[in-house]
Amino acid sequence: MAPKDQFSIAQWEQINKRLDQIIEKLETKPSFGSVLSLLDNADILQLFKISAKTAQRWRDEHQIAYSQIGNKIYYKIEDIQAFLDRNYHKVQISNGDSKRK
């Protein structure tokens, strides 16, 4: 059985699809100069379908970059994408066998 933090390929695809939808929404909004594209902690919990404790552990273990203003946690879209990229495991299929790369 895989550890709780590991996602199946289908789950990663779903997360990437949601992230793409969020990015698309952010890109269609009017630009206000150097305004950053941010998600708050609640967005991350919903996006990854994780608990607040898991998000806290990812931050404590320096797995995902974040900003904190008071009690509020924010994540840059680029940092979320970098987190996904670092944890991406390509599956190579040959002769019916799947192999992780």
Domain residue spans in the chain? 34-100
Helix then strand count (H, E) for the chain reads 4, 5
- Order across the sheet with 38-40: list the strands: 38-40, 72-76, 67-69
pTM for this one?
0.60
CA distance 39 to 44: 7
pLDDT attached to residue 7: 73
Q: In the chain, which residues have pLDDT < 50?
A: 1, 33-34
pLDDT attached to residue 11: 87
pLDDT attached to residue 69: 95
pLDDT attached to residue 1: 45
CA distance 13 to 7: 10
pLDDT attached to residue 42: 94
Topology given in CATH for the domain delimited by 34-100: Arc Repressor Mutant, subunit A (1.10.10)
